[in-house]
Amino acid sequence: MASRPRRRPSSGWRSPGSRSRWSSPTRRCGPCGGSWPAATTGRRHSTWAPTGARPRRRSRVSHDPVPSRAPSNPPVAVGQNADQSADQSAGQDQAAPQRPPARRRRRFSVERGWFPPLGNAGKIALAVSLLTGALTHGYHLFRYPLYLTDEGIYMQRAWSLVRETSLSPYTYDYDHAPAGWITLAGWVFPLPQQFETFGNAINTGRFLMLLVHVASVYLLFEITRRLSGSVLAATVAAFFFNVSPIAVYYQRQVLLDNLMMFWLLLSLFALLRRETTIRSVFGGGVALGLALITKENAIFFVPSFIYLLYRRIKGSPSHRFLRTLWPFAAAAPIGAYVTYALLKNELLPSSFDFDLNNPPADHVSLLYTLWWQLNRSQGNLLSHDGLLYTSWLMRDSFMLIAGFAAMLLCLWWGLRDRQRNLGHLIIGTLAFGYTFYLLRGSVVLDFYVTPLIPMFAMCIGMAVDRLLKASFKNRFLRGAHGLVRVGAPSLVAVVLLMSPSSGYLVHTNTEGVVQIADQYQKKLNLTKMQHDQIAWVRKHVPSNARIIMDDDLWGELHDVRPFYPYAHSHWNAASDPDVRDKLFKKRWQNIDYIIMSNKMRKSMATNNADGRENWILKALQNSDRVWSRIQGNIKLEIYRVQ
């Protein structure tokens, strides 16, 4: 047998084409011709793959002459050049076709926090949604709609915090929790001209509503995307949240409902983080508590939050701590509010008397006001003269009907498979909870529909995405997946924007002419009528006059020189003892001027069941009209009492 030629020991260098894993000098095996690192002297040769060959499975016995299975590389005869064997093996590897790696399906689970990445398309959709929200709600902001009574109430209480460090310029009767106007005061205080930074107090508050809306668009987009796993669902939801006429009308106004929804969306966003950490659970609880002390209606969303938290922390090593931390964080702001009432000795009514027919005249209390609000009733929302038909459907019937249908679909999908359709179950129950609140038969005001708008928008987005996915199971539509998935919602959006019957961008006026919708109509300036009303008062009415007016004018007459310290709203003049008994003495002869609007006249008629405003109505009967302005169904007047 020919002797094996001596080889120079390897220096450790390997060529770029070599398949060896090792850069150290190698040793060779006589029987098989394989090689292994020299540093492994004393180890089993079979544990190392020969240089230049495929790695082999570890064998119990090295160099078995009769292997139990065919080796991956044929044995090399003694004396054959090992380099030839390595070259042959490398050639076989290169010639063998390699299977492309299997494409891994995206994992999505709301419960485990497996959310798809946003991606470039998602970033573009989010940027467009934010820009659309800023344009639709920012354009014409200070001209439309007309200043609302409640806007004036919240801004006057923010004024009282900044100027007088009290929760209200009148007796605070706990009709609403104070976090809303505390937020308004915190926004106004650092501004250069405070309440007059944007012209007047309500305009300054409306600019904050614009910022709140843009932030809410981001939260709504991300929440919808994480609940559905779809950028399309988030984009559709943001479209309705931005462009719906009913959304633009109410979300421009300074309302506690808008601030409440921001805190609720922030709390929901915190619970939908990829990892449920102590920080996210605590932050979500605090945000929910702030929503509750901004407006008490947020309590109807709490059951859905509890269920989502339970599903997110189930199986977590710290689930016991987290399920205790979250309610503690949510209760902290509420506890601060209750503690305030307790320290003021205004938690319980006098003599623990909750008789609604005989309210206490000299003492206010948190629990009595809460009991009074729970027992209020005002007709049926579904009646022919209810707000649903006279106001809400007239502003945007498409979104309300589509949102209600989408809510039912989300509930059905979620209840049918709670494990896989957790996102549909959560958004469906959120919308259903607040719908139940509106339909329960208690007092419902016009703007109470505001929190339902983002919930219906998310339901519509998730339902559209789910229905499109189901339609692509058809083999005829499978090839047009991408085109139909984007084109169908885009076509519906264009139809809504261009259709006069929808009122999204254009509408038909009373003369039958198609024109730009009121919310974007450049020539329409409703608030100018109120500015003209204030201008006449400043020019013709002395500053010491005793005036009855609506709340939307309060900031103008109390924060801008010349001040009118004896100008009070009709509600406070009739219910606050300090104003009613000390200033006016409940006599109509002590009133000098009445600044009237048709909404104020309607409010006085509907809220005068106990006759508390009869003396104001008698003053109106004994007065002369000195100024009037009418535009459409809006009528503003000023009366001088004889």
Q: Is the dihedral of CA 425, 427, 433, 436 positive or negative?
A: negative
- Return all residues near 242 (Cβ < 8 A) that are at least 6 apart: 129, 132, 133, 136, 137, 217
Per DSSP (E only), the strands in 489-633 are 506-508, 514-516, 547-549, 567-569, 593-597, 623-631
Query: pLDDT digits over 495-549, tens only?
Result: 999 999 889 999 988 888 899 999 999 889 999 999 999 999 999 999 999 999 9
Q: Over the Cα atoms of the chain, what is R_g?
A: 36
**Token representation of residue 424:** 């549909």
- Return all residues near 35 (Cβ < 8 A) that are at least 6 apart: 26, 27, 28, 29, 50, 51, 52, 82
Q: Is the dihedral of CA 486, 488, 493, 494 positive or negative?
A: positive
Dist. CA 188–CA 558, nearest whole Å: 16
Q: DSSP letter string over 312-357?
A: HHTT-TTHHHHHHHHHHHHHHHHHHHHHHHHHTT-SS-GGG---TT
Q: DSSP letter string over 36-51?
A: EEGGGTTS-GGGSPPT
Name the CA dihedral angle for 418, 420, 424, 430, rounded to a multiple of 10 degrees.
Answer: 50
pLDDT-derived band at 44 (thresholds 50, 70, 90) equals: very low
Residue 35: in which H helix or E strand, if any? strand 35-37
pLDDT at 71 over 60: no
Query: pLDDT digits over 183-241, tens only?
Result: 999 999 999 999 999 999 999 999 999 999 999 999 999 999 999 999 999 999 999 99
Query: pLDDT digits over 396-453, tens only?
Result: 999 999 999 999 999 999 999 998 999 999 999 999 999 999 998 778 889 999 999 9
State pTM to two decimals: 0.82
pLDDT-derived band at 554 (thresholds 50, 70, 90) equals: very high
Query: pLDDT digits over 79-88, tens only?
Result: 445 455 545 5
Dist. CA 576–CA 545, nearest whole Å: 19
- Mean pLDDT of all residues belonging to the chain: 85
Amino acid at the residue 579: V
